[in-house]
Structure 1
Amino acid sequence: MAGGQGKKGEGMVPLALLLKRELSSERVERPDVLHGQASQARKGEDFTLVKVDCQRVPGDGLSTFSVFAIFDGHNGSAAAIYSKENLLNNILCAIPSNLSRDEWLAALPRAMVAGFVKTDKDFIDKAHFSGTTVTFVIIDGWVVTVASVGDSRCILESAEGSVYFLSADHRLEANNEEVERVIASGGQVGRLNSIGGVEIGPLRCWPGGLCLSRSIGDLDVGEFIVPIPHVKQVKLSNAGGRLIISSDGVWDALTAEMAINCSRGLPADAAASQIVKEAVHGRGLRDDTTCIVVDVLPPEKLTPSVPAPRKQGMGIFKFMFQRKTCESSSHSDRELSEADLVEEIFEDGSAKLAQRLSTNYPLHNMFKLIICAICQVTMRPGEGISVNSTSSKHRRLRPWDGPLLCKSCQVKREAMEGKKHSRDSVSRHNGENK
């Protein structure tokens, strides 16, 4: 598979440079974003969120962005429903107001971390025992930002036909680093035992028996099953691309190539239906099976009425996005040659809040000194705890010691890192503040 598998930071281009290139071009165009979704339900625990008219600046139609997300619940649907209703707002509340577009996009990866953790913390306070995977996609212009926990996935086929994995797989069976992290944090990892002591089934975390190392919810497992998402941000070329966002009901039956091939040449809604149909046909309806297909199209491009055959070395979108006949072929060829590039801006999958909330771009500190970086609660001067601190002990804080956490979020951070292995510590702390 092509794309997105190198070492963290290699080949990445600063966001400010990419946006400067965009602004300096002769003609700045926002892409058309078309989508379709399909699903077949077995347990009724898959939920989707689609919002195509969000605005960074209220009332400014030029500041729109789109949101596409899948929530695959387990042990009930409460966590999936709660996340669908609250996660977007929690992410947006973690981004300061009055930012320029490049600052907003630069702050988005950290805001996604804060939003995921806050959603998990607030849901667990309600003492529900269900959990959910999340794959959350924000598209602003040509920039795509994906945050994920669990085993739902988002893949991208770029204009030149390369495939990029924009999410991470947090199944314990598939991720040795996550197994080591869970064990180091106080969890136990093993398989179910059959009669005779023979181990069967996938790796699970105990207590609870969850196959995943990251999710939102799951009160009955342990705080070391963290809601901190893998985040990847890329900038598409001006030739566009196709995103396939699906729950594990699809990926347990189809590889990325199979999903792309079976839907090639189809518009987004038909493509989503075909992917679900192929997954259910190949494996049976063993699980909820949900798919969202999003086409990011250059403006004024036409799609063929029938699927075009794929030629070697060229991707689906070079056939789907044909220029109008009034434009010269030389201009079209030049655009296609310049379009064969997906620029990687940012990627981080660490489970350490100190790393994930620190400033990764040469911008001003985007966290206010008296606001908790996760739950956004206003704190009294001197009450906050630096996320870079190794203990909860108070000391005089300086502006550059931020971002800061409130006491409750610091307790959660310590529990996620294995310093406190029980959710009881959070409950006791919350009880003390009531």
Structure 2
Amino acid sequence: MSSKGEHQTVPLSVLLKRESESEKNEDPEILHGQASQSKKGEDFTLLKTECQRAMGDGVATFSVFGLFDGHNGSGAAIYTKENLLNNVLSAIPADLNRDEWVSVLPRALVAGFVKTDKDFQERAKTSGTTVTFVIIEGWVVTVASVGDSRCIFESAEGDIYYLSADHRLECNVEERERITASGGEVGRLNTGGGAQIGPLRCWPGGLCLSRSIGDMDVGEYIVPVPYVKQIKLSTAGGRLIISSDGVWDVLSAEVALECCRGMPPDAAAAQIVKEAVQAKGLRDDTTCIVVDILPLEKPPPPLPPPKKAVKGKLKAMFRKKSSSSHSDKEHTEPDVVEELFEEGSAMLSERFDTKYPVCNMFKLFVCAVCQLEMKPGEGISIHAGTSNSLKLRPCDGPFLCTSCQEKKEAMEGKRPSGNRHDSDSD
């Protein structure tokens, strides 16, 4: 036994084990809670922590939180809740390291959303759903969204980030232009005599949204291609709030965060729902998920009040995309939260046109959407019919199967979308 002060050697294997355990402990602690008040029974949530995936010779974990706000029935929301995650994961190649896995998530989310929509429409149901889908891997948060539910994040420093887009036709000029260019019509409800009332809607169908999953009776220019934003947090963490429009129609991000400051996630979610319902009554399903992302070694501290704006010192939080309705809002830009990815295009050719090395992680002769294996020459390049098609070589992918190529063309207004099954109501 060594005397006090005598130097002791530590075997290399022990050091490596300690380092490995230390690295694992750097991941955050995820605490979550949810609350809801139901009017129509069409809001659904998915809360999954400690999801596992293979990584080299080990297993890594990640968390998933989803909010599905259905309309015209609950069928699309339930189906999406049950199938979207598997469809996203099936679009990710096996045995990637952490950085690679995070890098391919945006493309896999696009593929998973489109496949879920395509599969659900084959069931000939007319309901639809908004989706806000959050994947947390370590300190990286990736959010994919269609519709008008929203996800916001407040860092431990008190800065607010908008991680989703609002696809309401009323407030999104770019989406209105895309729909009319694809063959749809945008206008208000006509009550006769030239009077028009209510928000802007897409006709036929009368949907107020430009993107959703389902809604086969509206037209395929209502697309399931999600807006995706990915950020890396500081190790101080922060709080996510994911809520349906029943909350955001009443509360601003600042009010939602302030009304639950210092509360644990369960109580915070309940307080946000309570505030929304008290303000205007229970007019819609009102659902909220609160997720605290915290350092493991520290107890959950009360979040600080938002920083006071310094006149002349405000900058845009991220590069603003016109697909987001929050482009008019500005907040301080700290160094502690890093933007990794942001894209909102509705065009699959743009969303799948990833550069090296990401594109080389995907199998050459597999459909980029539904993962169907194809023989060489069977697949259709995602760039077919675009300005890049003249430069293509036979091996230039990604590729789509015939069925997914038809889906892509319909969403882009390149073929009539009315040839569908007779639909049943939910």
Shift of residue 117, structure 1, vs aligned partner: 0.2
Shift of 1:365: 1.6
1:127 counterpart (117, 121, 124): 124
Alignment-mate amino acid for residue 62 of structure 2? F
Shift in alpha-carbon separation, 1:404–1:255, aligned structure 2, 3 A: same
Name the residue aligned to 2:33: 36
CA contact (8 A) 1:87 1:119 kept: yes
Identity %: 69
- RMSD of aligned alpha carbons: 2.5
Which stretch of structure 1 is more off in the superposition, 413-422 or 34-43? Answer: 413-422
Partner SS state of residue 365, structure 1 = helix
Q: Which residue of 1 aligns with 2:327?
A: none
| Structure 1 residue 382: Cα displacement | 0.9
Contact between 1:70 and 1:247, CA under 8 Å: does it hold in 2?
yes
Query: CA–CA distance in 1 between the matches of 2:234 and 2:372?
Result: 39
Residues matched between the structures, number: 376
How far apart in 1 are the matches of 2:264 and 2:57? Answer: 29
SS at match of 1:57: strand
2:74 is aligned, of 74, 77, 89, to 77
1:162 CA drift (Å)? 1.1
Aligned partners of 2:359 and 2:128: how far apart in 1?
A: 36
Q: Which residue of 1 aligns with 2:399?
A: 404
Matched, 1:419 2:414: yes
Does 2:103 match 1:90? no
Between the aligned partners of 2:53 and 2:235, the Cα distance in structure 1 is: 22
TM-score by length of 2: 0.83
C-alpha contact (below 8 Å) 1:161/1:313 kept by paired residues: no
1:103 aligns with 2:100: yes
- Counterpart of 2:284? 287
Equivalent residue of 1:415, what SS? Answer: helix
Give the structure 2 partner of residue 332 of structure 1. Answer: none
Aligned pairs for 1:184-223 (under 5 A) are 184-223=181-220
Which residue of structure 2 lines up, in the alignment, with residue 372 of structure 1? Answer: 367
Q: State the distance in 2 between where 1:226 and 1:299 align.
A: 40
The one-character-per-residue Cα deviations of 1:376-399 (angstroms, maximum 9, x if unpaired) are: 1111221100001117x9999533
Match of 2:377 in 1: 382
| In structure 2, distance between residues paired with 1:348 and 1:263 | 31
DSSP 3-state at the match of 2:361: coil
Structure 2 unaligned residues grouped into runs of 5+: 1-19, 310-333
Change (3 A) 1:379 1:154: same
1:153 has 2:150 as partner: yes
Gap change, CA 1:394 and 1:160, over 3 Å in 2: closer
| Cα deviation, residue 160, structure 1 | 1.4
- Measured in 1, the distance between the counterparts of 2:228 and 2:112 equals 12
CA offset digits 1:299-358 (Å, max 9, x no partner): 121235xx68737559xxxxxxxxxxxxxxxxxxxxxxxx96110000000001001011
C-alpha separation in 1, matches of 2:335 and 2:392: 51
Structure 1 residue runs of 4+, over 4 Å off? Answer: 25-28, 58-62, 311-314, 393-397
Alignment-derived partner of residue 345 in structure 1: 340
- SS of residue paired to 2:166: coil
Q: TM-score, normalised by structure 1?
A: 0.82
**Cα pair 2:158 2:306 within 8 Å, conserved:** no
Mapped contact 1:55–1:61 kept (Cα < 8 A): no
What is the one-letter code of the residue matched to 1:403?
P
What SS does the aligned partner of 1:83 have? helix
Distance 1:276 1:60, change over 3 A: farther
Counterpart CA distance in 2 for 1:295 and 1:313 is: 23
Instruction: Determine helix, strand or coil for the equivalent of 2:54.
Output: coil
